[in-house]
Amino acid sequence: MKAVAISDLGLHRKKNEDSYLINQALGLFVVCDGMGGHRGGDIASQMAINTIDTISREKNNNEAQFQLFDIIHKANEVIWKRSQDNPEWDGMGTTITAALVENDKLTVANVGDSSLYIIRNKSICKVTKDHTLAEQMVKEGLLSIEEMRSSSYNHILTRALGVEENVVIDFFEEQLEADDLILICSDGLSDMLDENEILGIIMEFAAKETELDMIVRTLLRQALNRGGYDNITIVMLQF
């Protein structure tokens, strides 16, 4: 399994509030996006990564979902307690999308709107569900799918790590196949490029058997060309 990552400030932000983790030995890959505009967003995302990295190295549990459930809840607790002890960081939080690969099984956990896609047989499938007000409005019939992408409600999170004492985590399980590509990214990429555009870039380079780092650099460059309005973090792995 190959894995690469890249993270960029973007063209309009003063600091990078994204953080990521790659631990190939454990098959653990994580992207966190600190809540933009909130004090301590960068601290929250880094705390989540540090907590998950530390605990996951100590864990020895065969239940992938339980392991992710345990360590993400612990990260939520750590961030929540830090914000309660430091009024200047009140309300800080972060998204999280974590992928755990065990043999040919992929377990995904997510809170917020960082995305995970599987690219297989020249097609792309988004596994995660965004926890945004726009997504909720679509479910309630108040907004169409076509309107959602350009809606300002698309940037209002309905769920995030660390903002409350308890957090609800979505879990997904997928069977992996040889040569599957897995893309995890913050919304700095997914807001700038839709799924078909992401797939088009990947397929263009895959046809040339280009290394993964060239693919992620091209995705980043295209997101910057579109405006680069947010921090951009991309983790890609090939199964």
User: H or E stretch including 111?
Assistant: strand 105-111
User: CA 195 to CA 191: how far, in whole Å?
Assistant: 10
Joined tokens for residue 100: 């755990």
- Please, which residues have CB within 8 angstroms of residue 222's CB and are 6 or more apart in sequence? 192, 193, 197, 201
The number of domains in the chain is 1
What pLDDT score does 207 carry? 62
The whole-number mean pLDDT for each consecutive block of 10 residues of the chain, a chain of 239 residues, reads: 95 94 94 84 96 82 71 96 89 96 95 97 96 88 79 87 96 95 97 96 78 94 96 96
Residue ranges making up the domain that contains 144: 2-238
What pLDDT score does 225 carry? 97
Of 50, 51, 70, give the one whose Cα is nearest residue 60. Answer: 70
Of 74, 83, 72, give the one whose Cα is nearest residue 43. Answer: 83
- Please, which residues have CB within 8 angstroms of residue 155's CB and are 6 or more apart in sequence? 36, 132, 187
What pLDDT score does 117 carry? 98
What pLDDT score does 123 carry? 97
User: CA 82 to CA 76: how far, in whole Å?
Assistant: 10
Angle, CA 64 vertex, CA 61 and CA 66 arms, to 5°:
75
In this structure, the chain runs to a length of 239
Which amino acid does the sequence have at 197? Answer: E
CATH number of the domain at 86, please: 3.60.40.10
Of 220, 201, 191, give the one whose Cα is nearest residue 95. Answer: 191
What pLDDT score does 33 carry? 97
Contact 32, 43 (CB under 8 A): no
